[in-house]
Amino acid sequence: MTRQPLVARRAEELLGTAVVATAPVAGGDIATATRLRLSTGATALMKTLPHAPEGFFEAEAAGLRWLGEVEGGVPVPEVLAADAECVILAWVEQTGKTAVDSAVAFGRALARTHAAGAPGFGLDKDGFIGRLPMPNRPAETWPEFYATRRLLPYLKLARDRGAVEAEDASAIEGIIGKLVSLLPEEPPARLHGDLWNGNCLWGADGRVHVVDPAAHGGHRELDLAMLHLFGLPHLPRVMASYEETTPLAEGWEDRLGVHQLFPLLVHACMFGGGYGARAADVARRYT
């Protein structure tokens, strides 16, 4: 590890601790990630993004802290510092192994995090998913929140960006009026909000840690739908231990597609390609 003076100096200002060395970390597609070795012997991760959207890193830090409040919940890295242009987290040492025992423990921990609940559907502040703004203004019910804060805003953005054809947009709009009958009533769960495989770190400590949340209060099937959409090692074992801890409402597997519409539309907005058409195909299964 060498030492990047500008990065090291900013980290030292925020941490009040000397940075001995720095090294770039590959993998991030939004922020620049740097590994820091501190004079205390600890290791940290610093994520930077010049001219970041207002509140970007503060939202990430707040989401991690909120998820981390849950005793026995999903592990998250400790937030060491955050400001308008960066966040510094405790380093999570990863392993190339995806052990079954870790998956089982993750399912239990995720169930506990969800069961910790939230004040309502939404959050007191808007957030981000990827680099996209994410509206969080609370709503009385989950179908209302999911329709007006998740599906319709990203469908409009996808259409504006040419990522969804008119016929496909109509198919997605067709599910809005059916959400009340499709989705079972549950109290708001404490959601990660962007729970896909890339945000699950298999730690050398034998635990699965989660990062980069888009945290808010919502229906727990949203997190589970994202895990199923993009895959996770040993996912059947994760789900079995989840249900042993907190059973899901009957028919949850048949409803996964409803909650997969949100991440599919987000991907359509960010990457285009076939995500818009894929979302429409999913919506047609329910209309």
Active site residues: 194
Sorted by sequence, the CB contacts under 8 Å of residue 38 that are 6+ apart come out as 15, 17, 18, 19, 20, 44
* 3-class secondary structure, 61: helix
Where do we find the tokens 């955050």? 82
Give dist(CA 150, CA 165) in Å, integer.
19
Give dist(CA 229, CA 242) in Å, integer.
17
The sign one gets for the Cα dihedral 266, 258, 141, 197 is negative
Give dist(CA 264, CA 276) in Å, integer.
7
What does 153-216 look like in DSSP terms, one character per residue? HHHHHHHHTT-S-HHHHHHHHTTGGGHHHHSPP-PPEEE-S---GGGEEEBTTS-EEE-S---E
Give dist(CA 226, CA 261) in Å, integer.
10
Give dist(CA 176, CA 60) in Å, integer.
29
Where do we find the tokens 């012997």? 41
The HSE-up count of residue 157 (CA atoms within 13 Å, CB side) is: 20
